[in-house]
A and B are shown apart, each in its own frame.
Chain A
């Protein structure tokens, strides 16, 4: 393996890192909002909303992401109504098409994770909160949300990692993120192994950092798991 070439590759791929991170962060952030909406729709008990959310999840989980990207990027331009609408300046851009596809896709997966978290909250707790006189919104904010978040976090971590990996598909609609630059370098230099190793290393580093962040959040959100530490600190405090 040529170290000098690998180092050069590393710098050119690192230049593409911001775009990869931006794609992932934007679509995860927007997707999570949509996912919460979908999860609430499924739990709302209103048949129309429930059916809509079910169909949505079925469609987006059952088809490849690349097809969804093509459908949005190439497909929507078929309709003059879209081309003349106010959304065209956005839908013309490969970046926003990629974000839209990634966001719609992750929302389908994440909504199931969030729904699982929401239904894991014991009903007795909601009842108790109601007995204390809390309103619907307050129950959601104080009782249901924090526990659902805790429950959903490990699954959501996995989903975020697959989103980071999914950003690589944006390279197929001309966006030069890490995989796009890697493919270009490979076709210019024919040095597959070096480019692959360096690009793979960068993705692994991102995902490793992401798993550490999720683990840290899990640690922060689960005080009961840290109980022994807290007790020992308290005991120390009493000793003084």
Chain B
């Protein structure tokens, strides 16, 4: 057998790893999106808790963001992966199942990434809300808008506009964090590269390709974000 070249590895041909790597990249994007959305929901509630919650709620949100920003993400992934399995096994035994039941890695990974990014998004939304001019909220109240209407028409769109640059950063972090989900056995981009490296003994080629794909995804999403930012700040005069 001849040694496969670099181009053979990335090709979509018979011996190529192209389709596998593309599927891995797709899985990476799915994990990142799931984690980002979960983090967005948590972040919204977290910011609400910090801005207008009572002392206890606020303290809870404070503890959550401090803890999640102070411990490694890998540890959180282990917690959800092994912890989830322990819970599922316990439930399984309750219903008479035998032995160890493993928790789906995708859900564990998405939850772990979501909870870490939720802590970052809490701070992003909180900061963005502070940038909303109080006069605008006052004007809305003066116009007779109710709480919900005011939130939907004034607070949410303005906060989102100010939050976009920060959310862009969080997205990039989430994308890179999704690589850690490979430790749970989910076949995303990095895991696929590991598999390829193992079966062809060309680790450098595979990890290099993986790095380039990550770079491509983050560059493209960076461009999309820039366009979104421009769209959301129509009507804002610049410099």
Contacts and interface: CB of A to CB of B under 8 A. Distances in A.
Interface of A: 58-59, 62-68, 70-71, 74-79, 161, 165-169, 171-172, 179, 182-183, 186-187, 190, 192-193, 196, 199-200, 203-204, 207-208
B71 interface: yes
Contacts, number: 117
Contact of A203 (B71, B177, B204): B71
B204 A204 contact: no
Given A59-B215, A63-B214, A71-B204, 12 more contacts: A64-B190, A66-B182, A67-B214, A70-B203, A71-B207, A75-B208, A165-B72, A168-B73, A169-B180, A193-B79, A203-B70, A203-B75
B204 A78 contact: yes
B203 A64 contact: no
Given A75-B207, A172-B183, A182-B78, A64 B71 contact: no
A75 B203 contact: yes
Contact of B70 (A63, A187, A204): A204
B150 interface: no
28 contacts: A58-B215, A62-B219, A63-B215, A64-B175, A66-B190, A67-B179, A70-B194, A71-B207, A76-B204, A78-B202, A78-B204, A78-B205, A161-B69, A165-B70, A165-B73, A168-B72, A172-B74, A172-B183, A179-B78, A182-B75, A192-B82, A199-B71, A199-B75, A200-B67, A200-B70, A204-B67, A204-B70, A204-B71
B10 interface: no
Q: Pick the 10 closest A-B CB pairs, nearest first.
A: A168-B72, A75-B204, A64-B179, A74-B203, A64-B176, A192-B83, A78-B204, A165-B72, A71-B207, A63-B211
A182 B108 CA distance: 18
A12 B178 CA distance: 29
Nearest to A207: B70
A190 B207 contact: no
**Chain A interface, >50% SS class:** helix
B79 A196 contact: yes
Interface residues of B, number: 40
Interface string B84-110: 001000000000000000000000000
B82 A66 contact: no
B179 A66 contact: yes
A79 B211 CA distance: 18
Nearest to A172: B183
Contacts of B208: 71, 75
Interface string B128-169: 000000000000000000000000000000000000000000
Given A63-B215, A67-B207, A193-B83, A171 B74 contact: yes
Contacts of A79: 204
Nearest to A193: B83
Given A63-B176, A78-B203, A183 B78 contact: yes
Contacts of B178: 64
A187 B182 CA distance: 17
A208 B197 contact: no
A68 to B, nearest CB: 7
Interface in B45-83: 66-67, 69-75, 78-79, 82-83
B210 interface: yes
A175 to B, nearest CB: 12
Contacts of A199: 71, 75
Contact of B82 (A62, A169, A190): A190
B218 interface: yes
Contacts of B179: 64, 66-67
A168 B74 contact: yes
A224 B207 CA distance: 49
Given A71-B204, A204-B67, A62 B75 contact: no
Contacts of B211: 59, 63, 67-68, 71
A193 B178 CA distance: 23
Nearest to B182: A66
B75 A200 contact: yes
Contact of A70 (B176, B201, B207): B207
Given A71-B208, A71-B211, A204-B67, A169 B203 contact: no
B155 to A, nearest CB: 28
A203 B72 CA distance: 8
Nearest to A200: B71
B75 A168 contact: yes
Contacts of A183: 78
